[in-house]
Amino acid sequence: MKRVEVKLNLDAVAPLLDVIKGAADKLEPRLAIEPQVPEHDAEFADEWKRELLAAQKTDLGVMLGLFGSEFFSDGVIALDPTNSEAILRASAAIRLKLRELHLKEFEDENLEAGEIDLDELPEVQQRAFAAYVFLATLQEVIVQHLDPTVLE
């Protein structure tokens, strides 16, 4: 099984984890995106939403689990096929929440290209943007190194 270990700078990543955890906590009671479900079957819609919320909670747990006590001792996270999809989904959900909470004034194109002048932002937005970029980079590492559809 392919495994990618990423060594991260603890001083740079630790403050971002507070922002990421805060966004994950705000996701806890609701989905990152409200699904479009058939309105004619309320019972089906409610059950589907419950299942999606449970899956989101599991994905967030997998991603946040990367940053446990072992991470704080060596700064290494391990990505492999058993956790990569959950991390991709959790990262996307947290990025959407960061966008909603702290970055809604910016155009998607500017956020994705990293074309934001950090010096002009308050510290809360600076950290939110840094967390947003960090999660995007984590997603890129997974797609580039663990996606079976990408040729090596």
Angle at CA of residue 94, ends 113 and 91, nearest 5°: 75
Give the mean model confidence (pLDDT) for residues 92-109. Answer: 94
Confidence at 149, pLDDT banded by 50, 70, 90: low
Instruction: Indicate if the pLDDT at residue 152 is higher than 50.
Output: no
Q: Can you give the pTM of this predicted structure? A: 0.90
Q: State the average pLDDT for the chain.
A: 91
Take residue 51 and report the two structure tokens written for it: 């299942």
pLDDT, tens digit (0-9, with 9 covering 90-100), for 35-93: 887 677 788 888 888 999 999 999 999 999 999 999 999 999 999 999 999 999 999 99
Residue 49, classed as helix, strand or coil, is helix
